[in-house]
């Protein structure tokens, strides 16, 4: 039986059959989101990684790093945020955003959310294109997860990835003991059509203009 996807008021809805195909409107992008969780701390990282906390007074640095890391994967969530909104988020207790540093420059971005008692969400984790494949991912992620479990009362670390992310992302997280717990379909306006991202971003996901 087809089911509608819940959407905010005033936004067109889409009905998706439970066994079949639904056409995604041109001008949008669709992705399958997989939510994963880990309840057992993985082994401690063996290689030190240089993290630097991003201060609320640095919204431009955060946005620039988010754009560089996320453009290949069509990350959009921070690009439309104002400086004030980014500053407010970075100053929220329980939210921590950090740059991963290498050779004196920002090469990766991590954001965690510990506002829910007993759990930590890894909201963002990724590297700029030039740093991918340099052996930073495993020690950096291991450090993030170890730090999350070290917080008092934390029993669960969770995150989500999607079919727009790096093709090895899902296997990467599962190698740390994360297991898939649910999925969702996400449909959003294509940011390349609005100018939020360059038209040549994520070439493996072609634009279907309206």
Q: How far is CA 74 from the centre of its chain?
A: 10
Beta-bridge partner residues of 35:
160, 182
H helices present in the chain, as ranges: 59-70, 83-90, 137-150, 169-174
Phi, psi of 162 (to 5 degrees): -145, 175
pLDDT tens readout for residues 5-46 = 555 566 667 788 888 888 899 999 999 999 999 999 988 777
CATH number of the domain that residue 99 is part of: 3.40.630.30
Residue 209 falls inside a structural domain? no
Residue 133 falls inside a structural domain? yes
Residue 13 falls inside a structural domain? no
| Cβ contact 14:4 at 8 Å | yes
pLDDT tens readout for residues 85-123 = 999 999 999 999 999 999 999 999 999 999 999 999 999
Residue 207 falls inside a structural domain? no
Q: Which segments of the chain are extended strands (E)?
A: 3-4, 15-16, 28-38, 50-53, 95-102, 105-113, 119-127, 156-162, 179-189
Query: Which structural domain range is residue 73 located in?
Result: 31-189
What total of structural domains would you count in the chain? 1
Among 163, 207, 205, smallest CA distance to 25 is for 207
Residue 9 falls inside a structural domain? no
Residue 93 falls inside a structural domain? yes
Residue 46 falls inside a structural domain? yes
């Amino acid at each position: 039986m087809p089911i509608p996807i819940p959407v905010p008021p005033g936004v067109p809805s889409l009905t998706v059959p439970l066994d079949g195909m639904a056409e995604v409107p041109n001008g949008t992008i669709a992705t399958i989101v997989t939510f994963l969780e880990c309840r057992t701390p993985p082994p401690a990282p063996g290689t030190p990684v240089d993290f630097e906390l991003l201060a609320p007074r640095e919204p431009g640095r955060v946005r620039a790093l988010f754009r560089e890391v996320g453009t290949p994967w069509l990350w959009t969530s921070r690009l439309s945020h104002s400086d004030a909104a980014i500053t407010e988020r970075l100053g929220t207790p329980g939210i921590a955003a950090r740059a991963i540093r290498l050779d004196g420059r920002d090469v990766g971005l991590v954001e965690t959310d510990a506002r829910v008692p007993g759990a930590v969400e890894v909201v963002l984790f990724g590297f700029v294109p030039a740093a991918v494949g340099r052996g930073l991912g495993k020690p950096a992620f291991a450090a993030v997860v170890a730090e999350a479990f070290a917080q008092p009362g934390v029993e669960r670390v969770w995150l989500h990835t999607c079919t727009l992310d790096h093709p090895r992302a899902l296997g990467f997280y599962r190698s740390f003991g994360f297991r898939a717990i649910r999925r969702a379909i996400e449909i959003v306006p294509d940011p390349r059509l609005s100018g939020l991202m360059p038209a040549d971003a994520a070439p493996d996901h072609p634009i279907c203009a309206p």
